[in-house]
């Protein structure tokens, strides 16, 4: 068994363990109810996220007219597109107090995002040591962990900044 396969299996086991622990500790702890104002803001956030994904994909298609985007594989760019949309929605919703539901607490999201950051950093550090490029390109396999780590770090920082600034008000 190769190191990649062992790492993938270990990651699945860790992910499964986190999901089971979260389910046992708090049933539907992240399933929130939102008021009308939050629903409107979340809808606007979804709209901005979709526009971001569309513009990013259009830019990728313009630069990749000949079938190849320099330095990045198409599967990796698809992940980046999804992550950008998620970040736009998340940051917009967090900054307008519409990301976390009425009956949720911030601590659950902080723990979840911190676990995602740590889990993805393990894979990301491995790929940094081995090299991010395959055939001169960052691929989904080599770049996904670091991309997800950066995305979750941005969301975590946004949640913490919003939480502490709203406590001061």
4 or 35: which leads in pLDDT = 35
Tell me whether residue 11 is in a domain: no
Q: How far apart are CA 123 and CA 11, in angstroms?
A: 9
23-37 tens-digit pLDDT: 766 655 555 688 899
**Cα angle for residues 76, 143, 110 (degrees, 5° grid):** 105
The number of folded domains in the chain is: 1
**DSSP letters for 85-100:** HHHHHHHHHHHTT-SS
pLDDT at 27: 58
From residue 16, give the alpha-carbon distance in Å to each of 109, 112, 119. Answer: 18, 13, 12
Return left, alpha or beta for 136; rule: phi > 0 is left, psi -120 to 50 is alpha, else beta: left
Q: How far apart are CA 126 and CA 120, in angstroms?
A: 10
Q: What proportion of the chain, given as a percentage, has pLDDT over 90? A: 36
Tell me whether residue 129 is in a domain: yes
Residue 71's domain spans which residues? 31-168
Tell me whether residue 10 is in a domain: no
Tell me whether residue 92 is in a domain: yes
> How would residue 62 be classed by pLDDT, with cut points 50, 70 and 90?
confident
Q: Which pair of structure tokens corresponds to residue 64?
A: 């990749």
Tell me whether residue 20 is in a domain: no
Tell me whether residue 8 is in a domain: no
Q: Which pair of structure tokens corresponds to residue 137?
A: 């390109």
119-166 tens-digit pLDDT: 888 888 887 888 878 888 888 888 888 999 999 999 999 999 998 888
Tell me whether residue 36 is in a domain: yes
Contact 122, 47 (CB under 8 A): no
Tell me whether residue 107 is in a domain: yes
Closest CA to 125 of 141, 110, 145, 111: 145
Q: Is the pTM higher than 0.75?
A: yes
């Amino acid at each position: 068994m190769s190191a990649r396969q062992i790492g993938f299996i270990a990651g699945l086991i860790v992910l499964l363990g986190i999901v089971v622990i979260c389910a046992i500790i708090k049933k539907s702890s992240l399933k929130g109810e939102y008021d009308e104002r939050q629903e409107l803001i979340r809808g606007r956030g979804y709209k901005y996220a979709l526009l971001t994904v569309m513009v990013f994909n259009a830019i990728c298609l313009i630069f990749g007219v000949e079938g190849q985007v320099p330095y990045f594989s198409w599967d990796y760019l698809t992940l980046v597109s999804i992550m950008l949309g998620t970040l736009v929605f998340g940051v917009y919703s967090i900054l307008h107090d519409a990301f976390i539901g009425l009956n949720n607490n911030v601590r659950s999201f902080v723990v979840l995002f911190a676990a995602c950051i740590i889990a993805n950093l393990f894979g990301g550090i491995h790929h940094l040591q081995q090299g991010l490029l395959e055939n001169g390109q960052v691929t989904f396999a080599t770049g996904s962990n670091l991309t997800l780590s950066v995305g979750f770090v941005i969301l975590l920082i946004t949640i913490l900044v919003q939480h502490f600034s709203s406590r001061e008000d």
